[in-house]
Chains A and B, each alone.
Chain A
Amino acid sequence: DAKTTQPPSMDCAEGRAANLPCNHSTISGNEYVYWYRQIHSQGPQYIIHGLKNNETNEMASLIITEDRKSSTLILPHATLRDTAVYYCIVRVKAAGNKLTFGGGTRVLVKP
């Protein structure tokens, strides 16, 4: 699985959009980009995933660059409850394949 690079931390104002970057320059053609988040002392929560096209669901939007070497997770209207560590993971969808969690980005939403 390709390695990902995320900033260790970032702050965001409540009510504003939070844009979380992720670099995955060695991504291969069949690897998906997944995002999970982990609120303190809880289990991680799946947010969204995509291959090439931008994706949107009720939680967030995922923007993947055309060359697929980077992506951005967008939380459109951050709330205090969005304070968490956000993990960007790149992996192949294959039977038996596992998730590899790196350090993630610690996002602090401030009032």
Chain B
Amino acid sequence: DGGITQSPKYLFRKEGQNVTLSCEQNLNHDAMYWYRQDPGQGLRLIYYSQIVNDFQKGDIAEGYSVSREKKESFPLTVTSAQKNPTAFYLCASSILAGVDEQYFGPGTRLTVT
């Protein structure tokens, strides 16, 4: 089965801790994205990557970091600098960035207390 997997589905952390969210795809897509969604709101872009070893900031990158060492993987680290980290995080991929439709993973709901 081809698709995007995110793990875990639910994640709980204490304030002040960094946490890394996993995103893996086996669609052979070049581009990958991270979005954040708050209750009742649309998605906001955090970071995206067009190709391995390259990534760009989205609209709300502060307090987040990413890496793209492999085509299949695009992990997101929520650092302690992120003031309101509790949210629903969605990973997506597309064949090419900005051109093709995006396919989304099931999301990770992060709660920081």
Q: Which residues of A contact B (CB under 8 A)?
A: 34, 41-46, 49, 87, 91-104
Q: In the docked arrangement, what's the CA distance between A41 and B45, Å? A: 18
Contact assessment for A96 and B98 in the assembled complex, using a CB-CB cutoff below 8 Å: yes
Given the known inter-chain contacts A94-B99, A98-B58, please indicate yes or no for A44 contacting B45, CB distance below 8 A.
no
Choose one: B42, B48, B103; the contact of A102 (CB below 8 Å): B42
- How far is A64 from B98 in the complex, measured between Cα atoms in Å? 21
Q: With contacts defined as CB atoms under 8 Å apart, how many contacts are there between chain A and chain B in the complex?
A: 62
Q: Contact between B43 and A44 (Cβ–Cβ < 8 Å)?
A: yes
Interface size on B, residues (CB 8 A): 28
Q: Name the A residues within 8 Å of B106 (CB-CB).
A: 42-43
Specify which chain B residues have a CB less than 8 angstroms from the CB of A99 in the assembled complex.
43, 45, 102
Given A96-B56, A103-B42, verify A34-B96 contact (CB < 8 Å).
Answer: no
Contact of B42 among A87, A91, A95 (CB under 8 A): A87
C-alpha gap A97/B98 in the complex (Å): 4
B48's nearest neighbour on chain A, judged by CB, is A98
The answer to whether A101 touches B107, judged by C-beta atoms less than 8 angstroms apart, is: no
A101 neighbours in B (Cβ, 8 Å): 35, 42-44
